[in-house]
Amino acid sequence: MKLNKYRKKSPWILHYNAGGCNGCDIEILACLGPKYDIERFGMINSGNPKQADIMLVTGPVTKRSRERLVDIYSQMPEPKVVVACGSCTCTGGVFRGMYNCEGGVDQYIPVDVYVPGCGCRPEQIIAGVVEALAKLEQKTKDIEKSIRLDRSPQINNGQMDRREIAVEIAPGKVFG
C-alpha cells in the first residue's frame, strides 16, 4: 500500500511555539480559519508529532523550550520537513541577542523553509508550506535512493569497500 500519494495531497501539520510573541501563531491560526482555510487542501493541524509531516515552528528558541523542540522534532517519523515561520524563528529577529534565547531554530534542528516577516502573512505561510511539500517529496525520494544503491561495493583484498559510494550519498544530500 502506498501512503505516499495521499500524504502529498494532505500533509498534516504540527505547530510548535518556541517562545515567540504569539503574533505568528495567530497568523497560522488565521490560515486554518475560514478566510484562508488551508484545511480545504487537506492540511490538518494535528497535535501529534507521530502523525505529522510538516512542523511549523514559531519563535526564537528560548532556553526553556529548546529541549522540548528537539524532543518533538525527534518524535516525528521520517520523512519530515521543518518550516520556520517568522523573522525571530529564522534569525532571532527582535529577540536577537537577548539573554534568554539564542536566535534561530536552525541552531537546534535542521530547517527546510524559512518564512520571513514579523509576523509573517498567511499568504507567505501558505507559500512556505507549498514549498515544504516539494521538499517533502524530494526527501521521500532521497530515502529510497539511500536504500537502492546504483553501484555495488568494490572488493579490495577480500575486504568490502563502500567509501566511494558513501561519498555519493553525502548526509546533506540524503536527509537535508
Which residue ranges make up the site for another protein (CB under 8 A)? 1-4, 7, 45-48, 50-51, 53, 75, 77-79, 140-141, 143-144, 147
160 interacts with, out of ligand SF4, another protein, none, CB within 5 to 8 A per kind: none
140 interacts with, out of ligand SF4, another protein, none, CB within 5 to 8 A per kind: another protein
- Containing 167, the helix (H) or strand (E) segment is helix 163-168
Q: C-beta of 121: minimal distance to another protein in Å?
A: 25
Tell which residue, 94, 139, 95, 146, has the closest CA to residue 113.
Answer: 139
Q: C-beta of 71: minimal distance to ligand SF4 in Å?
A: 21
Count the residues in the chain. 176
The CA distance from 157 to 159, in Å, is 5
The CA distance from 87 to 25, in Å, is 13
User: Quick check: 89 and 24 in contact, CB under 8 A?
Assistant: yes
Which residue matches cell numbers 526564537? 60
- Residue 119 CB: number of other CB atoms within 10 A? 24
Q: C-beta of 110: minimal distance to ligand SF4 in Å?
A: 20
Residues that bind ligand SF4 (CB under 6 A): 20-21, 23-24, 58-59, 86-88, 93-94, 118-119
21 interacts with, out of another protein, ligand SF4, none, CB within 5 to 8 A per kind: ligand SF4
Residue closer to ligand SF4 (CB basis): 79 or 92:
92
